[in-house]
Amino acid sequence: MAIYTAITFFLLLIILSVINPRLNFFGLSNKKRVRSIVGLVLFLKLVEVIFIASIINLANSSNLIGSDFQIVLFTVASIIINMLIMYETKFNLNKKDEKMLIAEEDFRLVLESFPHALIKSDSDGNIIMANKKVEKMFGYGREVIVGKNMEVLIPHYALLIPHWSSDFCESKVQSILLEQGLHLHAIDNDGKEFPVEVEINPLITEKGIMFLSSIINTTERKKHENIINKQMIEIQQKSEQIEQFNYIASHDLQEPLRTLSNYVILIQEDYGCQLCDDLKLHLKDMDNAVSKMALLVRSISDIGRLGRNKKLTKENSYDILKNVSKNLSSLIDDAKLTIKIEGIMPTLNVYQPEFTQLFQNLISNAVKFQRVGVQPHIVIGAEKKGLFYEFYVKDNGIGINVNHYDRIFQLFQRLNQWEQYQGYGIGLAICQKIVEIHGGKIWVESVQGSGSTFKFTIAILES
């Protein structure tokens, strides 16, 4: 009788394991289960059952207890241990389910608080979940679009995705952005089309591959882009007009000035003996004025052409300074100017003619505004600061009043009388334009009567 009872209980345990496979040994064969805490506990409990069975078998071989009592003992121990296993498994699974519910709730809160429309879909594009921004953007209720395909919202959506299989995730592509060059558009509940930008992120879940799509309405951005494009066209047209003006300034305006200068020369040569001293002085002043005007016209034309149709080339600043010194050798020798270069001058991509003119103007400026009785001296150096090189040209000249720091870089602005320091107020304006086309800025630090330090930055540009 006892053996039938034991067999009955044993069959009940088998049936229970079949009903809930997660509680039997075969449920532990899943790798994910073995790695889990619940799987480890179940495995240890089964080891305990085998251990008890081995003890009973050992007792049987020693004839300590009868066979019927052994069966009853094994059955009772199996029932007790399996009940403990079921209880602990249920406790751990409930705990795991609770964590999953918390995780799902956290994911839902993130989904709802996200600033863009978010849609979770399966590998076929069927919508599983959507946030409230989707309702606002498309005008559909979530209960309507859940279960529908993404193509209801974004036509030809599936054709735009290169990989819907596991290969997409195995390629380690974190996300793909759909918009540029595709003219991607969506359709709302009223059938109205509007441009969108879609970023798709693959998700690997227990249910297979899912996709999280972030959708942005780019209508306003497109409007701004159209405005910017329109303004760029207008700027291009204005630039062309400026080029035409520069052409006129270089040719048409220069021609009457040359004619006037030639007539002054002819009068002086043909009627020089008949002219009185006052008239000769007036003709000389006229010739000087014409020369100044011609120089100003050329300077305006030169400023307009700075950086146009030029290419960046890699140049060493030290070599540039050596060439400038050669070009200004007469000026430097006459002024007995000394130049000191501090540190290592950098090599960087610049517009070579303009960059040369920048140093040439600053050095000439230092010579022009030297103090009487003081030998002019210039210190030049550079240091890297982030994405720029900061250069400095320090002189020991007359200095600049702090109230005129900005004014000196304006075109045709002069701080001194012509009789004291000749010039047209063009050199520093050209320097500012050259620095700007190199992505930098220029400024001055000065103490009046003690010299000035001109500093400018040059962006580290790619060729």
Give 414-426 pLDDT, tens digit per residue.
Answer: 655 544 555 566 7
Mean pLDDT of all residues in 195-202: 84
**How many domains does the chain fold into?**
4
Which pLDDT band, with edges at 50, 70 and 90, does 122 fall under? confident
Q: For 88-179, where are the E strands, in sequence order?
A: 117-122, 127-130, 176-178
One-letter amino acid for residue 304 of the chain = G
Q: Which of 287, 305, 323 is the last residue of a domain?
A: 305
Which pLDDT band, with edges at 50, 70 and 90, does 38 fall under? low
pLDDT reported for residue 399: 84
Domain match, 204 and 239 both: no
Domain match, 325 and 441 both: yes
Domain match, 86 and 122 both: no
378 Cβ contact list (under 8 Å, min separation 6): 337, 338, 339, 340, 363, 366, 393, 394, 395
pLDDT reported for residue 261: 83
Structural domain including 245 reads 224-305
pLDDT reported for residue 78: 67
What does the alpha-carbon distance between residue 333 and residue 367 come to, in Å, rounded to a whole number? 11
Among 397, 391, 393, which residue's Cα sits nearest to residue 368? 397
Bridge partners of residue 295, in order along the sequence: none
Domain match, 344 and 331 both: yes
Q: What is the 3-state secondary structure of 349-373?
A: EECHHHHHHHHHHHHHHHHHCCCCC
State pLDDT tens for residues 332-349: 888 888 999 998 999 999
410: pLDDT strictly greater than 80: no
Domain match, 368 and 425 both: yes
One-letter amino acid for residue 451 of the chain = G
Q: Which of 305, 324, 345 is the last residue of a domain?
A: 305
29: pLDDT strictly greater than 50: no
pLDDT reported for residue 25: 44
Domain match, 372 and 448 both: yes
Domain match, 375 and 348 both: yes
- According to DSSP H, which parts of 392-456 are helical? 427-437
Which pLDDT band, with edges at 50, 70 and 90, does 48 fall under? low
Which pLDDT band, with edges at 50, 70 and 90, does 51 fall under? low
One-letter amino acid for residue 393 of the chain = V
Domain match, 250 and 387 both: no
User: 413: domain CATH number?
Assistant: 3.30.565.10
Domain match, 251 and 385 both: no
Q: Which two tokens stand for residue 218?
A: 């780019």
Domain match, 37 and 93 both: yes
pLDDT reported for residue 72: 67
294 Cβ contact list (under 8 Å, min separation 6): 254, 257, 258, 261
Instruction: Give the torsion sign (CA, 421, 422, 428, 429).
Output: positive
State pLDDT tens for residues 256-265: 778 888 888 8
User: 129: domain CATH number?
Assistant: 3.30.450.20
Q: Which of 58-62, 167-171, 334-338 has the lowest mean pLDDT?
A: 167-171
Domain match, 230 and 282 both: yes
Among 50, 67, 47, 59, which residue's Cα sits nearest to residue 6? 67
Q: Which of 76, 110, 144 is the last residue of a domain?
A: 110
Which pLDDT band, with edges at 50, 70 and 90, does 272 fall under? confident
Domain match, 211 and 255 both: no
pTM for the full predicted model: 0.48
Q: Where on the phi/psi map is residue 423: left (φ > 0), alpha (ψ -120 to 50), or beta?
A: left
pLDDT reported for residue 58: 65
